[in-house]
Structure 1
Amino acid sequence: MNIAKNYIFNVIYQIVTLFVGLVTVPYISRVLGSSGVGINAYTNSIIQYFILAGTIGISLYGNRAIAYVRDDKQKLSRVFWGIFVLKLITTCLAYLIFLLFLSMTKEYSNIFLIQSLYIIAATFDISWLYMGLEDFKKTVIRNLFVQIIGLICIFIFVKHANGLWIYVMISALSQLFGQLTMWAYLPKTVQFIKLKWNDIMKHFMPSLSLFIPQIAIQIYLVLNKTMLGVLSNKNEVGYFYNSDKVVRMILTLVTAMGVVMLPRVAHTFAKGNFNQVKEYLYQSFDFASYLSVPMMFGIAGIAGTMTPWFFGPGFAKTGVLIVVISPIIVLIAWSNVLGQQYLMPVGKVREYTISVGVGAVVNFILNLCLIKFYLSVGTAIATVFAELSVTLIQIIFVVRVIQIRKLFTAIWKYLIAGFFMYGLIEYLAHILPGGPKTTFIQILTGIVTYFSLLFLLRSEMNHKIFGMGLQIVKKVTQYK
């Protein structure tokens, strides 16, 4: 399956995920309130540490390892079972440590126990196999089904503020059920192999080498919520959680390309075609800029009018946080290309580790300094600077092997179009009454303005994307 089809499948899934999030976030915010949302975010952030300890970078390593051997079914099967058994052992150990933690924890113990289903779900997650094979159709179909079932259950069973445990249960069981359904495809994909101990342990050190950067990434993805909960209060966690979730839901439409490109670049690199690897990098970076710049300006522009009706009473601060945190859309889009699509697939794990390690340190120090004075706004600022540091370090690491100017050739066009789009969106916010209708008008106007300006600026990427879209429409029309 080619890159375009895989990206389309992944984008379809991300769009459905975005839709589900856009529907559930305002509903849950109103039903559970900022305190309930904050407790869920706080307890889940703790659970993520146990998941991280249990998976020790195996999922990311497995994706790449499968991509290397996918042309040989015998090797593929041996690699898969070796990695899975290793993951089974490590996640079971992590769950035992969690039970020890639970025995010493009194606050939110019931919620923690329900959240632990995520650890079990992580044990049976074999999506890395299908990603390594570039078979995104299976994972997308499975996730779409699970997302819809979960959404229906939330609206049926979560009715009041005391329903926090029900919401957590539905979310966790949906995750577990989704992972288990992937096993139905396994007999057609791999053979059963009798393993030796070496077949398992040979994957330990390579996975562990990816564990360190995963720890660093987790620090500024999860630790910020944990620190905010410890140093301030659960309401502030709820404000930040909602702003961060909205921004990252939008961001997934860009980073979907990273999930598709990692196995493709790894496979190309394994064949020794380094020139093609660099070409993939240039194209992905340009595409990431093309999408992320308008998303950054767009979400910042609509935050003020969207927050009151979207999240409901008590979440006004979330609008401010969305504006502050919006630059990470561009920064993560860039670091996703440089790190996930280049440094990782070509084996530059040390460089990748250093970049995310610096980001983790920056995030931790700034959180300590800023949360005390600025609460959730301080966490948002720390997050932006952490992502900026990661991106800058990665640029330094790739400057010797690629042409930096070629990465940023068209960025000025995207920035000009995005800036004018932002100005128009802000103008509409001042002359129109607040509400869903105004937000919809802002989004539609912003989209038309951005892409129209890119046509005037003669953007090659814009021409290419709309050209592909036109070809698809013609094929569908002719088929009918």
Structure 2
Amino acid sequence: MKVIKNYLYNVVYQILLLLLPLITVPYISRVLGPELVGINSYTNSWMTFFMLVGQTGIALYGNREIAYHRENIKDRSRIFWGIELLQSMTILLSLAAYLIVVLLFSTTFQRYFLLQSLWIIAAGVDVSWYFMGMENFQRIVFRNMLVKLASVALIFLIVKGHNDLGKYIALMGLSNLVGNLTLWPYLRKEIKWVPVKLWRPFQHFYPALLLFIPTITTQIYQVVNRLMLGRMSTQNQLGQFQNADQIVKVVLAVVTASGQVMLPHIANKFSNGDVKGIRESLYNSFDFITALAVPVMFGIMAIAKPFAPWFLGSQFDDAGTLMMIEAPIILFIGWSNVTGTQYLMPINRTKEFTISVTLGAVVNIIANLFLIAFWGANGAALATVISELTVTVAQLFYIRGTIRRRQLFKSTWKYLLSGMLMFIIVYRLASVIQMTVANLILEVALGAAVYALGVFLLHAPIIQQAFTLINSRNKGK
């Protein structure tokens, strides 16, 4: 039940992240326009590389190590202080390198690059990995919800016109910094002080570095398309792609919310030698992700074209096509979230995970070189889909010796068939009625009803999972 509660906490937060852009993205898109949205995306992409280098895989490593030692307060306290000191040192080095590069080589957008550095500073004081390792998601979710709501209110108060891009960047960076600092007071009851000589931060460097490699390569194929699109095409095209990609990724976050919950859960099972429990959790999680990802993917594709210009503004008409092209990553990333984040990572099969995401990064760069040249932003979206499919296929290949892939996919056709029927009905409806809030709710409700009826008639496993959960909750009462 703890896993379910943590997942629900995470889903509530991801739904909040889904709802907030319904307010902020249309406002920011209209106030700043595609050009400035593209500049923000471009400068933020470069900052992200330096921030990831500074984090050096510590978030994933710290999450897993705390999960391994959560029952022993002395061990987890020693591990916490060592990892946090290492994180502070690597972030400071990364921040120094970033500022040197910006001051020496950037002239066009230097002010915006400097403001983006607030994100790097915030990463240095981020201890959310500790609470994830302890499977204490309630605390993280509550903190994040307050910070997000406050930042939304400040956006409307501060960002008023075309000249306020700097204020917007500063606000987003500062809200992230303040949010990370608010977790520190809770540590007083969680950990004990350990003599500095026992911290030994550098003993964590090499294993964290091994996790840094897949982290940075994952970000390469998530960020490089924006960088290449900004160089090879126009800032307007980048702005179109940025908003389409943002909408798809926000919806995707609801699907992959189980990854953060399951990683420490599986890691703890692994440390206790519960191999059977790991496999059972994996099969259930894969089926659940498939059941959720398929309707979300087809739903985005069905409403994308009328939704984009209505939601983002008439200048973002091309974003609808981009959303349709990119929507399949919801299913592919959902699957790789199970095979990679929920399985390969927690059982310490880092090498296979690293190879899979590195392969995805290489494929993404090659695909972008050709596809952006021919189709601009559409090519970047297609390259993203191809790279995510590559990662998924590679990880399925690596788990073949320990996980029965046929069992993973035996009911997938039921979800796909139900999803395609939902797509046909909703796509037709969206093409003949005007996009309004009421009609959007109608389309979502109709799509959900058609999909639910389909999986029920086909006796998909998710139905049994739902009944099992209901029965367990009733017995608990």
Equivalent in the alignment of 1:184: 185
SS of residue matched to 1:202: helix
AA aligned opposite 2:306? T
Task: Find the aligned partners of 1:440 and 1:270 in 2 and give their Cα distance.
Answer: 45
Task: Find the aligned partners of 1:201 and 1:459 in 2 and give their Cα distance.
Answer: 49
Deviation string 1:408-442 (CA, Å, 9 cap, x unpaired) is 12111101110000000011023212333332221
Task: Find the aligned partners of 2:150 and 2:255 in 1 and give their Cα distance.
Answer: 25
Equivalent in the alignment of 2:437: 436
Equivalent in the alignment of 1:279: 280
Task: Find the aligned partners of 2:467 and 2:41 in 1 and give their Cα distance.
Answer: 39
How far the C-alpha of 1:370 sits from its partner, in A, is 1.3
Task: Find the aligned partners of 1:434 and 1:65 in 2 and give their Cα distance.
Answer: 48
Equivalent in the alignment of 1:52: 52
AA aligned opposite 1:190? I
Q: Is the 8 A contact 1:243 1:322 kept in 2?
A: yes
Equivalent in the alignment of 1:155: 156
Going from structure 1 to structure 2, the CA distance change for 1:90 and 1:168 (only over 3 Å counts) comes to: same
Equivalent in the alignment of 1:458: 459
With the length of structure 2 as denominator, give the TM-score of the two structures: 0.97
Aligned: 1:90 with 2:84: no
Matches within 5 A, 1:36-435: 36-104=36-104, 105-196=106-197, 199-435=200-436
Task: Find the aligned partners of 1:411 and 1:365 in 2 and give their Cα distance.
Answer: 30
Q: Is the 8 A contact 1:32 1:161 kept in 2?
A: yes
Deviates more, 1:295-304 or 1:456-465: 456-465
Task: Find the aligned partners of 1:405 and 1:249 in 2 and give their Cα distance.
Answer: 30
Deviates more, 1:427-436 or 1:281-290: 427-436
Task: Find the aligned partners of 1:36 and 1:103 in 2 and give their Cα distance.
Answer: 21
SS of residue matched to 1:203: helix
Q: Is the 8 A contact 1:38 1:238 kept in 2?
A: yes
How far the C-alpha of 1:447 sits from its partner, in A, is 0.7
Task: Find the aligned partners of 1:465 and 1:41 in 2 and give their Cα distance.
Answer: 40
Deviation string 1:206-241 (CA, Å, 9 cap, x unpaired) is 011011111210111111111111111211111111
Task: Find the aligned partners of 1:379 and 1:8 in 2 and give their Cα distance.
Answer: 33
Deviation string 1:370-425 (CA, Å, 9 cap, x unpaired) is 11221111100100000000000000000111111110121111011100000000
Aligned length: 476
Where in structure 2 are there 5+ consecutive unaligned residues? none
Equivalent in the alignment of 1:7: 7
Task: Find the aligned partners of 2:321 and 2:42 in 1 and give their Cα distance.
Answer: 21
AA aligned opposite 1:31? V
Q: Is the 8 A contact 1:86 1:200 kept in 2?
A: yes
Task: Find the aligned partners of 1:109 and 1:87 in 2 and give their Cα distance.
Answer: 26
Task: Find the aligned partners of 1:219 and 1:344 in 2 and give their Cα distance.
Answer: 19
- Matched-pair identity in %: 44
Q: Is the 8 A contact 2:81 2:199 kept in 1?
A: no
How far the C-alpha of 1:196 sits from its partner, in A, is 2.6
SS of residue matched to 1:281: helix
AA aligned opposite 1:102? V
SS of residue matched to 1:378: helix
AA aligned opposite 1:56? T
Q: Is the 8 A contact 2:78 2:199 kept in 1?
A: no
Deviation string 1:263-284 (CA, Å, 9 cap, x unpaired) is 0000000111111111111011
Equivalent in the alignment of 1:16: 16
Task: Find the aligned partners of 1:384 and 1:269 in 2 and give their Cα distance.
Answer: 32
Deviation string 1:298-331 (CA, Å, 9 cap, x unpaired) is 0000101211210002101100000000000000
AA aligned opposite 1:422? F
Going from structure 1 to structure 2, the CA distance change for 1:199 and 1:23 (only over 3 Å counts) comes to: same
Q: Is the 8 A contact 2:78 2:198 kept in 1?
A: no
Task: Find the aligned partners of 1:137 and 1:233 in 2 and give their Cα distance.
Answer: 42
Deviates more, 1:430-439 or 1:76-85: 430-439
How far the C-alpha of 1:466 sits from its partner, in A, is 6.0
Task: Find the aligned partners of 2:472 and 2:153 in 1 and give their Cα distance.
Answer: 36
Q: Is the 8 A contact 1:306 1:436 kept in 2?
A: no
